[in-house]
Structure 1
């Protein structure tokens, strides 16, 4: 059996990209896998048809990771309203995940509503570039992937172990990705629903001369109603 296929208790994770020669990039098809989670077995392709925020955390029972899970749980309804599922992962075992999530519920009164993947073989982590090629433990970056309804990777963010992610920024990025897909517009720095959007720039001299306002910064009121 090839490296990256053996999972805990005889389960398999068929990841053809597990030994890919290049890291996962924006525009790539997200590698499919089958794994156990805190909510039962899942396959990544099960999420096709909606957006997915797939993210790794260095380890269970750690301060920064706990803060992130609390924030994601509290904003879960906002992701759901934007038709975006959440899926966590670490190389910790399923039993560790279950104990940690129960400790969060008991200590903070917060239920974690999304599944968390176990990856003790590090097969999924290597396929997604969440771990260094020679990693042998859970000391890894906080990798975050936005995967669109067709299964393509649309955004990648890495954070170091010592810095927690901003859930507000993840929601903002999701909204910007969805808005740019919903019409031929781009979103400027710090864009939020309701802000001006950017239209394509002219590609000819005549177009530049005929353009209204600043031709290379074509900001215009957004005609699409905020969700």
Structure 2
């Protein structure tokens, strides 16, 4: 199944380390960082799970719920969490989906046969409170994710939504934003009272 930006994230009901999860109900009014990993008790995955747990306050401050997934069982996840906590010096509290039959992984196109026939690659889905897919990333099994970029991308999406703006290359929270060409100067004066720098008629930079 091919999932595109703007699609409604497919719903599912599945067992997890936090009990049975109905995905759309679980999302509630939050954003979601839904990510897959190839296997429990493996080195790169252990560091990624640990990093997600270490960033719990950062995700919570953005109203984001992390949700992990692999094709291992709940029992394996629970045993592995002990290793994650011990080796990464953290306390992992977010749920990890148990997808032993690969149903959710197939639903979200997380199985890439060129990498593995049975294990998920490192997929990322950022999903908004309306259950819409807003951003996707896919990493190979040997390369861990960049969590600075994941948080930056979430900041960018939330800023774009709040201010009806676009974000330039390498944007960081607090940096200048772009007034979209679809917004006239008259509308922009109302939306962006700080004014703007016009580098070109189509490139107006402002602070929000």
- State the TM-score, normalizing by the size of structure 1: 0.80
The aligned counterpart of 2:165 is 185
Which of 89, 93, 117 aligns to 2:97? It is 117
Whole-angstrom distance in 2 between the partners of 1:128 and 1:55: 10
**Corresponding residue to 2:3 among 19, 24, 27:** 24
Could you tell me which of 123, 146, 165 is aligned with 1:143? 123
CA deviations 1:118-173 (Å, max 9, x no partner) are 001100000001113796421x3200000000000000000001110011110000
Gaps of 5+ in 1: 1-19, 205-210
**1:185 and 1:199 in contact (8 A); partners too:** yes
- Residue matched to 1:69: 49
**Structure 2 unaligned spans of 5+:** 185-196
Could you give the per-residue CA deviations for residues 29-53 of structure 1, whole angstroms, max 9, x where no partner exists? Answer: 0010111111111111121311000
TM-score (ref. length: structure 2):
0.87
Cα deviation, residue 84, structure 1: 0.4
Correspondent of 1:217 among 180, 203, 206: 203
Alignment of 1:1-227 (within 5 A): 20=1, 23-45=2-24, 46-132=26-112, 136-138=117-119, 140-201=120-181, 212-220=198-206, 222-223=207-208
How many residue pairs were aligned?
Answer: 194
**217 and 102 in structure 1: CA distance in 2 versus 1, 3 angstrom threshold:** same
